[in-house]
């Protein structure tokens, strides 16, 4: 005799498992819908589907360029962006945007995503994708630390880990490396903090 409750449980389990790992599809520039706008050069562009629906996330950065506010050509600006668009009623609607920058810098300038850190996960297995962004910003003419941030979005909920990377400033001396969680991340599932900490520690020292 067929056990209906058992069958329903299996169906529910299968649907839950479908969202346990978010499958992402990389996009090239030509595959991005014309209605989606972004600034800078694409670093990452992916499409995936979770419980919110069909989604596209793009990260981009400008690289350095002459400062908009300083006439002296030795000053430079740099910006970075991240965008999340969701398909709603046939239209791509922006769900969130991240923007950060370094301006009026006469020395070494940074405003870029850390390589190989972009990720889309479902660590808490609730069917809602988590988008991870790790980047640095800074302006300095010596080996001092730069500002480093790990930003996490789940839907429109933002979580942040902020601090600085770690730089060698002497034979055995280092500066930086400290971080703090914002209140949202402090209250988030432990698996988020564990992933963020692992991401931080893996990329705390710049690779040249």
For the segment 80-110, what is each residue's pLDDT rounded down to a tens digit? 999 999 999 999 999 999 999 999 999 999 9
pLDDT digits (tens, 9 = 90+) for 11-41: 333 433 343 478 999 999 999 999 999 999 9
CA 47 centroid distance within chain: 14
What pLDDT score does 4 carry? Answer: 52
pTM of the predicted model, to two decimals? 0.86
Which DSSP helix (H) or strand (E) runs through 7?
helix 4-20
The residue ranking higher by pLDDT, 70 or 179, is 179
- Could you please report the per-residue DSSP string of 147-163? EEEEEEEETTEEEEEEE
Which residue has better confidence, 141 or 100? 100
pLDDT tier for residue 71 given thresholds of 50, 70 and 90: confident
Half-sphere exposure of 172 (CA within 13 A, CB side): 0
Q: Collect all residues with Cβ–Cβ distance below 8 Å to 164 and sequence separation of at least 6.
A: 145, 146, 147, 148, 176, 177, 178, 179
């Amino acid at each position: 005799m067929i056990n209906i409750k058992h069958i329903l449980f299996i169906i529910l389990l299968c649907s839950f498992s479908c969202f346990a790992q978010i499958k992402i599809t990389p996009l090239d520039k030509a595959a991005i819908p014309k209605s989606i706008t972004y600034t800078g050069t694409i670093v990452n562009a992916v499409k995936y589907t979770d419980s919110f629906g069909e989604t596209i996330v793009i990260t981009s950065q400008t690289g350095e360029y002459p400062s908009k506010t300083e006439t002296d050509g030795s000053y430079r600006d740099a910006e970075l962006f991240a965008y999340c668009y969701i398909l709603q009623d046939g239209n791509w609607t922006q769900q969130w945007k991240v923007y950060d920058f370094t301006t009026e810098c006469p020395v070494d300038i940074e405003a870029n995503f850390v390589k190989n850190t972009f990720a889309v996960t479902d660590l808490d297995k609730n069917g809602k994708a988590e988008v991870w962004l790790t980047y640095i910003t800074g302006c300095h003419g010596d080996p001092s630390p730069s500002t480093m941030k790990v930003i996490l979005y789940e839907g429109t909920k933002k979580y942040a880990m902020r601090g600085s990377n770690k730089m060698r400033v002497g034979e055995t001396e280092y500066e930086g490396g400290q971080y703090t969680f914002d209140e949202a991340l402090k209250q988030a599932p432990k698996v988020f903090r564990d992933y963020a900490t692992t991401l931080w520690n893996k990329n705390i020292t710049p690779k040249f």
